[in-house]
Amino acid sequence: MSVTPLPPIHGYLVVSTLLFAIGLVGVFARRNAIAVLLGIELMLNAASLNFVAFWRYRGGGQMEGQVFVVAIITVAAAEAAIALAIILNVYRRFKTVNVDQINLLKG
Amino acid sequence: MPGILEILLTPGLNELVLIPGLPLLAFLVIAAFMLRRSEGAAPLVLITALAGSLVLSIRALSFAGRQRAFTTAFTWLSSGHVTLEVGVLIDGLSSVMLVVVCLVSLLIQVYSIGYMRGEIGYGRYFAYMSLFSGSMLGLVISDNIVQTYIFWELVGICSYLLIGFWYRRPAAAAAAKKAFVVTRFGDLGFLTAVLILSFQRHGRLGWHSMFGFVPLEHFVNAGMLSSGVVTAVALLIFSGAVGKSAQFPLHIWLPDAMEGPTPVSALIHAATMVAAGVYLVARTYFFFAAAPVALFVVALIGVMTAFLAASMGVAENDIKRVLAYSTISQLGLMMLALGVGGYAAGAFHLTTHAFFKALLFLTAGSVIHAAHTNDIWQMGGLGRRMPITAITCLIGAFALAGVFPFSGFWSKDEILSAVWFSHIPGHMIIFMVALTGVALTAFYMFRLWFLTFTGAPRTEHAAGAHESPPVMTLPLLILAALSAGSGWLKAHVPWTTGGMAEIVRFGDTQERASTLVVGLALAAAVAGIALAWAAYRAHLIAPAAFHARFPWIYRLLKNAWYLNRGWEIFATRVVIAGSSVAAWFDRHVVNGMVDGVAWLSGWTGRRLRTMQTGQAQFYALILILGLIAGLVVLFSRDQSLFHLVAHRP
Amino acid sequence: MIGAIWESLHSGSLWQPLAFVCFAAIVLASGLLVVLSRNLLHSALWLLSCLAGVAGLFFLLGAEMLAAIQILVYCGGIVVLILFAIMLTHGLGHTDVRVANQQLLWGSIGAAGLAGVVLHLLSQESWTMGVAAEPVDVTARLADALLNPYVLAFEVASVVLLVAMVGAIVMARAEPE
């Protein structure tokens, strides 16, 4: 296998940062609860990308980077399932999934 | 400092404690056992006690004549840098005062047996009288300012209790309250002086131990005591005296105090308690001697009071009120004497006045008893029906007016001489005013005597009056003898009239006699008597015509120069206005601050409550913004990410 | 010039950065469209595309197993789940209602600020890291890591999935009549 020069790590880090910021906007500014969930998924992926980038650029010897990404994906799956179940319940109760209309904790 | 047991057991010292102690003991006995009777042994207990005190006082007097001064005390209470002592002081001034108080009180108690016979509260009367006697003697014999103040207040309470003796009468209750409140006003100044002194002198508050025998000037010059403080203390002490001795402007309580029984008026409001103010000034004279401003104030107020009160006495028709104004006026003369440096003159007049004023009040009491009225216009012709009373009253009147050779002549003459020869600014004007006061005094006193004892009886009661029983006339006779004769004391027993040490110290050694002064004084007195005779006995002048021509004078004097009204306005307008300001402040500022704290909490809560929108996205946004702020702060100092992360090898 | 490009393509010296740029563009563009789409279903599908792009980036970095897992689980499982949820909550019909809430401005500012701060901090560092050879036996070593040092995490992850599954079933079932 030939040693191909990798692009410097900056690129990956910039991508992950920007992806995270995009996901953040989705979390803040969307009314639909499922759209908020999509934003969360984007953020999780940005984190995973960070981990794998650092794994590679530290030589690829220690596997912790990848193990953590496995954990992230697992948890993302579980969380998506639970979140969607909750959204279903909210929909049944409030007849809407618009997050800004669910403010019973307002004080 | 010897302990109390040592004082009681040491021969000589225990006597002195008994002087006030015996009457106080009598008080306890009477209060415990004899309150319910309306006849009985209560007066005898008191008279016995007073007789004992009198004997001891005379012994003390002879002792003081031989020595300079004698004082002893034991420490009662010592805390921090304040030490309170209990002690006695015997010198010329205090020993004379003791004898006078004991003697006059004794005679008046004898008189009271007759006067108060059959009264409800007979026992209560003598209980209060014994408490008063003990307190007054305690005041005189005290050797430090705190103890004096304690007895001062005790005497005030007894005055209140005795003025309001017939408490079911609203006028009496009101008069007692007025007396107490007005004297309290003055006592506030006295207390302030006590406090200032206790801070200044760190608890060494005895009269002689306070500054040693060194004149205060030395302390002022040495910078240990500022002259401002000395003047302030002197004036504050004087304010207590102004209240207690009914000087202008706190004189308004004394005429009303005549609501009490006449023997009370005689003892407390003529002879002894009101003299306590004069006594206090004499006692603290070393302060006044070092503060010429205070002395001038004393003299000024003294002469003003003397004149004003004499003028008010002219228009009074109630026999006791005339005598009350007379007392105020004479006390003013005593203050005047002290103010111009005539320490001995003032003290001398104190003693002579005690005798003849008590005599006059007791005769008035007999007359009131006989004629069933206080109004002199409802008397008349009592001289024929009550000869002993009339003669003794006449002697007292001559003494008051200052006619030779009665005691009042000698003491008044000394005072006028002191004013004449003094160096205070305007002393000639003061002399003139004082002289006018003397003339007015003679006038109103003889107006009183003529209207009461001469002429035809104007009512049936007056016509049917008869002489008092011997238990009442005997004290009159003794007092008359004293009023006539105590003048020669000055000439032959000089050390009784005011204490050698004080005289020597305060430089009043020259008793310069001036025939001119004597002549003027005598002339003024005779003129007053003559005018009274002309107007009220020989009817050569008609008072009614005078009233018609100068109605405003009559109105002014009858209404006591509207001073009562002035105080009333002060109390209701000024004081209440001041308190409404204070009340407003309390309600709006003090309360407002408390309410304000509560309001602030509520307002803050309402503002902060808007943060709880109940929307999770809002919370997330705030979270991220906080994170950004944290990152900025964290990394603004240290630019490197890795330096904040611990490197693990 | 085409010959040079072809040469570099074959020799592999150019294709890495190019591939990186392509995949990065896919990821970012899809991400933006996820957030900005008015249609929720379109958003979900753009998420699919974004995740695929991320998988491509994983491939480029040499984590093949991870890329596969990413596609299988994320794209194949989670996005499908989301599509079901969209249909169950009738999120489809409201295309004319506004999509963003009142926090759009401040949310964007916040996100942009965070990105700015982090990028600034990143630019301060000099990322000199030794670039080693292509890692070998990645999958085998991943498996070894999961089953030896991190077996606890592995087992716990499976428990988490079980619990989540049970919980989701319980929560999502229809209320008993």
Asked whether residue A46 is assigned to any structural domain, the reply reads yes
Inter-chain residue contact B617 with A100, CB threshold 8 Å = yes
Cβ atoms C134, C60 nearer than 8 A: no
Segment B272-294 shows an average pLDDT of 85
Q: Does residue B510 have a pLDDT over 90?
A: no
- Verify cis geometry, omega within 30 degrees of 0, for the bond prior to B405: yes
Total domains, chain A: 1
B501 pLDDT more than 50 = no
The conformation of residue A60, written as its DSSP 8-state character, comes to: S
Pick the more confident residue, B337 or B227.
Answer: B337
Q: Judge: A103–B615 Cβ closer than 8 Å, yes or no.
A: yes
B chain contacts of residue A29, beta-carbon cutoff 8 Å: 617
Q: Is the pLDDT of residue B206 over 90?
A: no
User: Which residues have CB under 8 Å from C24's CB, separation 6+?
Assistant: A11, A15, C53, C57
In a domain, A2, yes or no: no
Query: If you measure CA to CA, which chain B residue comes closest to A30?
Result: B617
Residue C125 and residue B640: Cβ atoms within 8 Å?
yes
Contact C138 A77 (CB under 8 A): no
B623 at the C interface (CB within 8 A)? no
The larger pLDDT score, comparing residue B269 to residue B263, is at: B263
Determine whether the interchain pair B613/A106 forms a contact, defined as Cβ–Cβ distance below 8 Å. yes
Q: Which domain holds residue A44?
A: 9-94
Number of neighbouring beta carbons within 10 Å of residue B462: 22
Instruction: For residue C121, give how far its alpha carbon lies from the nearest alpha carbon of chain A (Å).
Output: 11
More confident residue, B569 or A84: A84
Q: How much is the pLDDT for B170?
A: 92
Express the helix, strand and coil content of chain B in percent, nearest 5 each.
Answer: 75, 5, 20
Q: Which residues contact B135 (CB under 8 A, 6 or more apart)?
A: B20, B24, B151, B154, B155, B158
- Would A105 be classed as within a structural domain? no
Residue of B63, B101, B54, B53 whose CA lies nearest to B350: B101
pLDDT of residue B372: 83
Test mutation, B613, B619, B621, chain C, max C CBs within 10 A: B621
Q: d(Cα C117, Cα C114) in Å, to the nearest integer?
A: 5
Chain C positions in Cβ-Cβ contact with residue B631 (cut-off 8 Å): 117-118, 121
Q: Does residue A41 lie in a domain region?
A: yes
Note the pLDDT of residue B210. 53
How confident is the model over B526-547, as a mean pLDDT? 80
Buried-exposed string B95-129: b where 16+ CB fall within 10 A, e elsewhere? bbbbbbbbbbbbbbbbbbbbbbeeeebbbbbbbbb
What is the reported pLDDT for B498? 45
- 124-153 in chain C: CB under 8 A from chain B: 124-125
Distance from CA of C93 to the nearest CA of A (A): 12
Q: For every one of its 177 residues, what pLDDT tens digit does chain C have, with 9 covering 90 and above?
A: 555 555 555 555 677 788 888 999 999 999 999 999 988 899 999 999 999 999 999 998 889 999 999 999 999 999 999 999 888 887 555 555 677 877 889 999 999 999 999 988 888 777 766 666 677 888 899 999 999 999 999 999 999 999 999 999 998 887 775
CA distance A15 to chain C (A): 7
- pLDDT at position A45: 96
Q: Is the pLDDT of residue B458 over 60?
A: yes
**Given the DSSP bridges, would you call strands B70-79 and B82-90 parallel, antiparallel or unpaired?**
antiparallel
Residue B649 has pLDDT above 50, yes or no: no
Q: Considering only residues B640 and B485, tell me which one the structure prediction assigns the higher pLDDT.
A: B485
Q: Is B10 helix (H, G, I), strand (E, B) or coil?
A: coil
Question: Cβ contacts (< 8 Å) between B640 and chain C: which residues?
Answer: 124-125
Pair B138, B49: CB distance under 8 Å: no
- Among C99, C104, C114, most B C-beta atoms within 10 A, so best to mutate, is C114
Window C:107-146, CB contacts with A under 8 Å:
107-108, 110-112, 114-115, 118-119, 122, 127, 129-135, 138, 141-142, 144-146
> Any idea which of A43-52, B487-496, B584-593 has the lowest mean pLDDT?
B487-496
Is the minimum CB–CB distance between C16 and chain A shorter than 8 Å?
Answer: yes
Q: Is A100 within a domain?
A: no
CATH code, domain carrying A79: 1.10.287.3510
- Please report which confidence band the pLDDT of residue B7 belongs to, taking 50, 70 and 90 as the band edges: low
| The pLDDT of residue B648 | 45
- Quick check: is A68 in a domain? yes
Q: Is the dihedral of CA B75, B78, B83, B86 positive or negative?
A: negative
Residue among B619, B623, B624, B634 with most chain C CBs within 10 A, to mutate: B624
Q: Which of B35-44, B208-217, B553-562 has the lowest mean pLDDT?
A: B208-217
CA-based torsion, B416, B420, B426, B428: positive or negative: positive
Measured between beta carbons, the chain B residues lying within 8 angstroms of A20 are none
Measured distance CA(B411)–CA(B487) in Å, rounded: 7
**Alpha-carbon separation of residue B310 from B119, B401, B420, B433, B437 (angstroms):** 34, 12, 20, 11, 6
Q: Residue B370 is which amino acid?
A: A
pTM, whole model, 2 decimals? Answer: 0.68
> How confident is the model over A77-86, as a mean pLDDT?
93
Task: Of B233, B235, B206, B238, give the one whose Cα is nearest residue B220.
Answer: B233
Confidence of residue B16 (pLDDT cuts 50, 70, 90): confident
* B332 vs B278: CA distance, rounded Å: 9
Interface check for A28 against chain B (CB to CB < 8 A): the answer is yes
What Cα–Cα distance (Å) separates residue B53 from each residue in B26, B36, B74, B127, C60? 11, 26, 22, 17, 124
Report the candidate in C98, C103, A83, A101 with the shortest Cα–Cα distance to residue B617: C103
When comparing pLDDT for B540 and A89, which is higher?
A89
- What does DSSP assign to residue B614? -
Does A15 have pLDDT greater than 90? yes
Q: What pLDDT, in 10s, does the model give residues B183-200?
A: 998 999 999 988 887 777
Q: Residue A25 in contact with residue C33, Cβ under 8 Å?
A: no
Q: Which residues of B touch C103 (CB under 8 A)?
A: 617-618, 621
Instruction: Summarize pLDDT for B396-444 with one digit per residue, the tens.
Output: 999 999 888 888 888 888 888 888 888 778 888 899 999 999 999 999 9
Could you tell me which residues are beta bridge partners of residue B144? B206
Considering only CA atoms, which of B148, B99, B158 is closest in space to residue B276?
A: B148
Distance CA B642, CA B645 (A): 5
A107 contacts in B (CB within 8 Å)? 609, 612, 614
| Residue B231's pLDDT band (cuts 50, 70, 90) | confident
pLDDT of residue B457: 80
CA distance B413 to A43: 115
Nearest C-alpha neighbor of C82 from the set C33, C121, C44? C44
Please tell me if residue C78 touches chain A, with a CB cutoff of 8 Å. yes
Cβ pair A99:B615 closer than 8 A: yes
What's the first-to-final CA gap in chain B, in angstroms? 85
The minimum CA-CA distance between A31 and chain B, rounded to whole Å, is: 9
The C-alpha atoms of residue B359 and residue B475 are separated, in whole angstroms, by: 8
**Beta-carbon separation of B615 and A36 below 8 A:** no
Q: Give CA separation, C43 vs A48, B273, C46, C83, C91, in Å.
A: 21, 107, 5, 10, 11
Between chains, do A10 and C35 touch, taking CB under 8 Å as contact? no
The model's confidence at residue B506, banded by pLDDT at 50, 70 and 90, is: very low
Q: Which residue has the higher pLDDT, B494 or B405?
A: B405
The first and second tokens of residue C46, run together, are 């753009």
Using CB atoms, which residue from B618, B628, B639 is nearest to C113? B628
Whether A57 and C70 have beta carbons less than 8 Å apart is answered as no
For A29-87, the DSSP string reads HBSBHHHHHHHHHHHHHHHHHHHHHHHHHTTS---HHHHHHHHHHHHHHHHHHHHHHHH
Are the beta carbons of C110 and B621 separated by less than 8 Å?
yes
Instruction: For tokens 């110290």, name the residue.
Output: B505
Backbone angles phi, psi at C90, to 5 degrees: 50, 40
- Phi/psi at A32 (nearest 5 deg)? -75, 135
Nearest residue, CB atoms, C111 vs list A11, A24, A56: A24
Q: What is the mean pLDDT of residues B332-348?
A: 87
pLDDT band at B468 (very low <50, low <70, confident <90, very high): confident
Residue B194: what residue type?
V
Inspect the interface and report whether the beta carbons of C62 and A77 lie closer than 8 Å.
Answer: no
For B617, the closest of A27, A105, A106 (CB atoms) is A27
The shortest CB-CB distance from C20 to any of A7, A38, A99 is to A7
User: Looking at this protein, which amino acid is placed at residue B266?
Assistant: A
The reply to whether A86 falls in a domain is yes
| Average of per-residue pLDDT across B41-63 | 84
* B292 CB burial (10 A radius; 0-12, 13-18, 19+): middle
In angstroms, the CA B132 to CA B156 distance is 9
